[in-house]
Structures are given as structure tokens and as C-alpha cells.
Structure 1
């Protein structure tokens, strides 16, 4: 360990060999993640690896045709090298379309030395017409999930050789005929090689294994990475358990739970989680980028499970309340203070003490602060009541009568309010006799209330109604609560965090 001394104290920094090990493991993790991404995307984008080009703005249908722009991205030799990955995914050429293209190649080879109307050419054209119809009727592209390419192929042929029935079969039948190919044979075959042949080449057959699924040998490529990370996981967690006090080997494994994704044979895409963590800790990524990646991953996990957790927790609470009500916990709560089995941990009547605290707060703090407003309200109410009396009507005609009544009312209200506050304060002072009387009052009220409810059989009705009410809440509102927009909650959380940081 190297020590870095600063004015604020002594800080320890990881030794350089340990940091280099973290960087090496992070690079291996990135390589493995890229391999996983390539494997997961290989079959869906195999057409791109096959031809090494993309089309922009290309749209074809039976009614609309918009020519696109072809962009060559990958050279042919690199495309052929990448296509060797077909062996890993168990992909081989489809026999039907492969034989079809072989017949076309045979036709082109024959035309180099003979003419289109030569007797050797006629059987080949007849065979191509038959194969074209079979390819369309039997949908030779369906097994590979390439039926969309077959539809594109049919649309191109309908557009190239329109007919009254708008039939792609009839278009192919006409295309592979002597009468049609005898003029501009080279240009017409060039059309086939540029537009039709690339679509036919995308078709393939994928072997099925004994398990019933497609053959996939990616596990053989992934095994060395899994073995490396599994051994590193065992060694690292063992070292953590040896260097951390009170941490067992199992605890250390749970501590590094995210590393398990490196050697799981399924859900391989989840390896983005430990890879981002390793890139951050190895300092191969800037700290802020690493933190953002980790934060987005954690928020995504939270958003995914928050709805389920919310629903489970709320339903669990409501079910527990219903069980407690059915078991008679309401009556027990009301009556058990008077039973010998009730445990009092501090020899104090908490209900009475809470009421005293509220009363003292009201007398010492609240009543003095609200005195002007309270007196004004009382004075207004009293004056209004006096003004409506017949006696006030006679006094008001006397000189100074209204002023005298107003002054008397104000004085009466002030003295009454002050007297009430003083009396209440005197009552709340330490007085054992008062506390005994208050305790006795609460006890009698509690006993009377419980006995009356039980005597009239109201408690069972109350419990039944409460259980039904909770069931209605669970049905009508819990689903709304769980379906609340989790992303909106996360957005509010981020806003609050930003405000607190500023």
C-alpha cells in the first residue's frame, strides 16, 4: 500500500498492481460483453453480415415502390469471414433455395458457350420455372423466419414483369422463358443477380438439437470467460471474507452478487451490470460516466419491481389488519388495560399523559398567541347577540349608550378569556389528586364504552364493516396505487435530490 499524505489527514490509495489487475479484468469483461452482444444480434441481422450493405429509403409493396440507396459498409472478404459464425449457430444453406441458385449458375455457365434457344438450355429454364412456383407456394423462407424477404422478392418481380393478375408466379414463369430471355439476356440476368439473388441468399436452414431447440454452440466460446470469472469470483470473495471482520464467505458472495452474471449460461445480457461496475472501479471510464451508468441500471431495476413490491406490501398490510379485526384485537385493545395480563412498561397512563402534554401546550403556548384574535371573535359574537335583544334597543337611545355597551362587552370578554386560561393553567399544575381523578375518569369511560358496545352487540357489526371496507379498498384502490407511473416517481426523486444537493 502506498500512502498519500494531505493536509486533511492520511488517505490510503490502492496499490498499482491491484489497479492493473482490475483494468485487465475489466477489459476481459468488455470483450466478453461484446461477444455476447454479437451472438445475440447475429441471427436477427445476419442479412447485414451476409451482404455487408444497408439500404436507405427503400420501400416496396404491391402498390408502392420507392427505390432506396445501397451503402456498402463491410468488404466482401470480411463478410465471408464473419459468416463463419454460422457454424456456431448451426446455420446451413437451405436446400431448396440453394439448388435454385445452383440452377441459375448452371444456366449462366451454359450461356457462355451456347445460345438461349439451345436444346440444352430449355430443360434448365423449365426446371427454374417449376422451382420458382414451388418456392413461392411452399414458402421456402418460412422456416428461417424470412417470409418478409420472400414478399419483397415477389413485389420486385410483380413490378419488373407486371401482368393482369398481379401474380408473382406468372412473373417468374415469364422471366424463365426462352421468348423473354432471348433479347437482352445479359441485362435481364444482371437484374436477377442484383435484385433477386441477394434476397434468395438470405434464406437458410438451422439445425435443431436433441433438446428441441436450435443448435447453439456459443457456450463453448463463452465457457473460458465463465471459468475465468468464476475462479476470480471465488478467490475475490474468499479474500474479502478473510480481510473483513465478521464477513463469512457466503456473505462476501452476496456482497459481490452482480459478478454471478458473468458465469450464468442464461440472461447473458445482464452482464452489462457487472461490466459497468468494473469499468468504473478500474478507472477505465470517467467517474461521472460510471456513476451515471450504475444509477440508470439501478433505477431501471427499481422501476421494474416497484409496482409489484407496492402491491404486495399494501395488500399484506390490509390482510394483516383484516386478520387482527377478525381475531377481536379491537375489543382486546379497548379492554386489556383493565385486565391483569396487560403489560405496563413504565407504570404510566400514556393516554392521560398525552392529553396533559397537549393541554399544557395549549395553555402555555397557543392561548397567549391567539388571545387577540380569540377576544375579537368573542367580542363580535357577544355584541351581535346583545344587539338583537330588546334591552339593547332601549339603551342605544341613551347618550353614550352604545359606547358603554361596547366597552362593557370588551372588558367582559377579556376578563373571561384571562380567567379561563388562568383556571386551566391552575388545573394542569402538578396535582396528585387531579391525576387520580383524571385516571379514574378515563378508566370509567373506557369500561363503560367497552361494556356498552359488547352489550348491544355493536362490536361484531363494527368488525364486519371494517373487514368489508378494507376488502373494498384492496379491490378498488390498491391496483391504482401499484399502477402509478413509477417513472414519474423516479423523476420526482431525482428532482428532490437535485434541490437538496444545490
Structure 2
């Protein structure tokens, strides 16, 4: 969408105001960055929370994220782990620590403290391990990760605990269950067949005093922190508003930008309306239509479409000469033109020819040329056909005839000689000695006098007022006579038929030639011409 504007009263001082254009472009880019961060925050929350980027075949990259300050305390129970970003931005999204998983991790912290104080075989440790077994069974059966749509995370936890007990530490686990025949045989089958491995039984065995004692507390608890704790920490609860949607306070962060862009939009459009002739404030608003996307309240309405702000941001960066989008615009335009050029051109040409054919069949063109109506609209009250004939006659007399005079003389000489050669007297005269050159001299003088007399007569008739009137009357009579003759039914029908067939052949041949043309070749030729024109 664009608005064609007239020439301005005075050119805009773009160089003087370039700093303002760049400043607003940078502000718009910052707002777009905030928008993209908000759109991707929930899907990428695990990264912001854990500060890790895990890429296959590459080592894990850990980012040193600072701890959260007091002003950004998370909602709900204090989580076991929170970074500056998640502690602050979780409030915007209404995200709280999930109480069950948080209680689970706090129980693990309590277990670590009890083991340090009284050892693995103490009664407090046994009670805490029993609580962890119950909580593990509840986590798997109730699926604590459903609310956050993280059921896949629970599956990862289950797979890791099964691999730990049935694969990595299968020997240690086998020694423990061997004392209980009711558990030994099922465990051996689970080691052999992956389908029989139970994650609940694996957690129950993992949180047992015997297993921790034999496998080593100093080895198993760090493994839990590195492989299970981080996954459980990513679980969360997100509040829901009265409209049934998840809480999203992004509009509070977006409001200052919206207010700034509204003020800037009104000032800019008013300035444009003052700089250009015949451009009202409303026209200027339509001119800068894309800026509306910057202050449209997407935070409250149609939030998923907030990414559309990339359109005005891209345009502003281009106008501020911070990025160059000319190449992209050319490629997009040429691609669009290339996709519709052939079909559009064929439709337009064929439609025009069809309209001409219809006008010929109905006799409108013949009536318009030969029978002009009295109330027909004219531009300058001049008979254009008569003026064209008159101009053609003057051009022929004054410009064409003098330049083709040698050709006319040669043609006349040839015709006269052909006629005289057939006359016996002329042949006899050529045989008389001394007189054989006389016929040629007579012919030359005759041709010269005829041409000069004809040319003089034509120029005199055009320059003489009376001769001009007679010439105009001759042209009018010729036109009227031709019109009367053409209006005869047989002549009109024949003309219509011939012209209609000619146009039909023209359409068929045009469509055939158009189908044979490679549009990409035309686009490439156009690009080469544009590049050549820029170099010049």
C-alpha cells in the first residue's frame, strides 16, 4: 500500500533529521527485540533458567548468569534455582515454582544435610528416603509436568533413572535385590528386557539406604543433581486469567513504547501534511500506515500477531540508512512480477483485443469514424481527420517530393521510353544521323517541365487561399464519398469480417509467442539493463 504524493513545497531535510530517524529506528528495533524475547521466553525458559546450550556433537556451553536481586523475587515458593532473567520475567508470564517438584527438591536438600550429619544408615535418613520414594511414585502416576506441558521432561527423567539402575549400576542394584527373591527375578528380567523396566521401582531402589550405601552417596547424589534436578527445576505452574488465557503482563512493558510511538506518529504525520501540497493529515496517516503496527496494543489484543512489528522496524532501519533493503525489495518485486507477468499481460492484451472485436462487430468504430454525432465530445473543435489529411498532403509536397524527385524522373523516363520504343516514327528518328540524340533531349525536357509544373501547381494550390479552400473541399468530398461507399452493406460486412479475422489471428499468435518466452530470461535481461543504467 502506497500513497502517491505531489511535489513538496520544500524538500524534507533528511540529512538534518537523519539522527532523529536513526534514534527512532533504534528504539523500534529495541521494542522488536523485547517482542521477540517475550514470544520466545516460555519455549526457551529452560535455557534462561539453566544457562546451558546443549548442541549434539558439541560440548555443553554454560553461561555465567548472575543471581536474581531482591527486587526480582519469583512468585510463589522460592525455587531451588533461579537466574536474574527467570526471576524477573517469570512475573510477567505469571509463572510460579511448581509446589510438588519444589517440595521434592527441598526433600533432597534435606537428605543431603542429614547424611552429612548422621550418615546413610540413620533413622532420619531412612524416613526422608521413604518420603522421596512416595513422592517419586506420586510424580510418575500423577504426572506433575502436565500443567507446564512438559510431559516430555518427565519421560526424560524416567528414562535416565531406568538407565542408571538397570544399565549403568545394574551390578550394584542386583546385589541389593538378590536378598529378596520376590524382587530378584523381576529385576533380572528388566535388565534383560527394556520393556519390563519400571521407573517407579527404579526410583524406589535409588532412594534406598542400601543402594546409596553400596553405590556411594558421594557419587549418586551429584549424579542426581546433574541429571534429574535440572529437569525437575524446569517444571512450573502458570496462572490463568478470567478470559481463560495464561497470564501475560507484556502490555505493561510495551506501554511506554506504545505511548512514544503514538506521539511520534502524530507529530510525523502532522509534519508531512505541512510539508506537502494538497496532503491532509488523514492522507499523511495513510502514507505512514505501517507505523500503526508499532503502537497497536498487541499486548491486549491479538497478541500472537505482535511479530508484525518487524514490518515497520525494517522500513525504518532502511530509511535511516542503517540497513540496505534495496536488493531484497528488488528481488521480491521481480519475483512477484515474474510470477504474474505472463498471465497478466496475456489477459490484458486479449481483453483489449476482445473489446475491439466487439466494437467492430457492433459497428461502433465505423460509426465513430464515418458518422460522428453532433453531441460527441471534442477536445478543441477541430476535425482531426481532415487536419491529418491536410498535414499529410503538405508533408508530401514540401518534404517528400523534393527528396524522391530523381526516382520519379527515372520512373517517368522508363515509362516514356517504353511507349516511344513501340512507335515506328521514334525508331526511324533515332536512325537519322545527327538527330539520334534529339529524342533523349526532348524526353529530359518534357519530364523536367512536367515535374516542375506539377510541383508548382501543388505548392501554389496550398499557398493560395482559394487553392487551399479548394483542396480542403476536395479532401472533404473524398472523405464523404469514401464514407458513403464504405457504409454500403456488402463493404461494411466484408471490412468487419476481415478486421475481425485479423484480430483473432493476432490474439492466437500473441498467446503462442508469449508461451514460448522464458519469463526468467526477461527478468535477467531487465536486471542487466538496470545495472548498466546505474553504472552510467
Residue 493 of structure 2 aligns with which residue?
A: 451
Q: 1:104 to 1:167 in 2, by over 3 A?
A: farther
Which segments of 5 or more consecutive residues in structure 1 lack a partner in the other structure?
Answer: 1-10, 59-67, 372-421
Shift of 1:227: 0.7
> Do 1:36 and 1:269's aligned partners in 2 also have CA atoms closer than 8 Å?
yes
| 8 Å contact kept, 1:51–1:76 | no
Aligned equivalent of 1:53 = 52
Q: Is the 8 A contact 1:133 1:169 kept in 2?
A: no
Match of 1:385 in 2: none
Q: Does the alignment pair 1:127 with 2:158? A: no
Computing the radius of gyration from Cα coordinates, the structure with the larger value is 2
Residues 1-16 of structure 1 aligned to structure 2 (within 5 Å): none
Aligned mate of 2:383, from 341, 347, 352: 347
Q: TM-score, normalised by structure 2?
A: 0.56
Provide the residue aligned with 1:170 in structure 2: 198
Shift of 1:72: 1.3
- Residues in 2 aligned to 1:335 and 1:462: alpha-carbon distance in whole angstroms: 16
**What is the aligned partner in structure 1 of residue 242 from structure 2?**
210
Distance 1:147 1:307 in 2: 48
Partner of residue 415, structure 2: none
In the alignment, does 2:42 pair up with 1:43? Answer: yes
Please state how far the C-alpha of 1:43 moved relative to its aligned partner.
2.1
Distance in 2 between residues matched to 1:443 and 1:72, nearest whole Å: 97
Number of equivalent positions: 398
Q: TM-score of the superposition, structure 1-length normalised?
A: 0.59
* Change in 2 beyond 3 A, CA 1:323/1:489: closer
**Worse-matched range after superposition: 207-216 or 225-234:** 207-216
Q: Which runs of 5+ in 2 are unaligned?
A: 1-10, 69-81, 168-190, 299-304, 408-450, 463-470
Structure 1 residue 155 displacement after superposition: 4.4
| Match runs of 1:146-225 below 5 Å | 146-160=150-164, 161-162=166-167, 163-167=191-195, 170-171=198-199, 173-177=201-205, 178=208, 179-182=210-213, 183-225=215-257
2-structure distance, mates of 1:234, 1:251: 12
Structure 1 residues 168, 100: closer, same or farther in 2, change over 3 A? farther
Are 1:158 and 1:167, in contact at CA under 8 Å, matched by a contact in 2? Answer: no
CA–CA distance in 1 between the matches of 2:529 and 2:20?
A: 39
**Which residue pairs with 2:91 in the alignment?**
87
1:157/1:172 contact within 8 Å kept: no
| d(CA) in 1 for partners of 2:157, 2:204 | 15
1:331 match: 362
Map 1:305-316; keep pairs closer than 5 Å: none
Q: For residues 252-306 of structure 1, give each alpha carbon's deviation from its aligned partner in whole angstroms, at most 9, with x where no partner exists.
A: 3234334323212234444445445656766xxxx4x53x14x256458747976
Aligned to 2:105: 101
Shift of 1:181: 3.2
Whole-Å separation in 1 of the counterparts to 2:361 and 2:98: 75
The answer for the alignment partner of 2:64 in structure 1 is 74
Q: How far 1:343 moved relative to its partner?
A: 6.1
Cα drift, residue 85 of structure 1: 0.4
Q: Which residue of 2 aligns with 1:6?
A: none
Judging changes above 3 Å, is the alpha-carbon distance between structure 1 residues 444 and 34 closer, same or farther for their aligned structure 2 residues?
Answer: same
Q: Distance in 2 between matches of 1:222 and 1:496?
A: 46
CA contact (8 A) 2:262 2:295 kept: yes
Contact 1:237 1:253 in 2 (8 A): yes
Shift of 1:445: 5.4
1:279-298 paired onto structure 2 within 5 Å: 287=321, 289-290=322-323, 292-293=324-325, 295=326, 298=329
Greater RCO (Cα-Cα under 8 Å, separation 6 or more) = 2
CA RMSD of aligned residues (A): 5.4
Query: Which whole-Å CA distance do the structure 1 matches of 2:15 and 2:114 have between them?
Result: 73
Q: Which secondary structure state, in structure 1, belongs to the residue aligned with residue 493 of structure 2?
A: helix
**TM-aligned CA distance change 1:249 to 1:102, over 3 Å:** same
Which digits, 9 at most, give the CA deviation of each residue in 1:324-357, with x for residues without a partner?
A: 589767524444334444767653459x97xx89
Q: How far apart are the structure 1 equivalents of 2:147 and 2:345?
A: 48
| Cα pair 1:334 1:446 within 8 Å, conserved | no
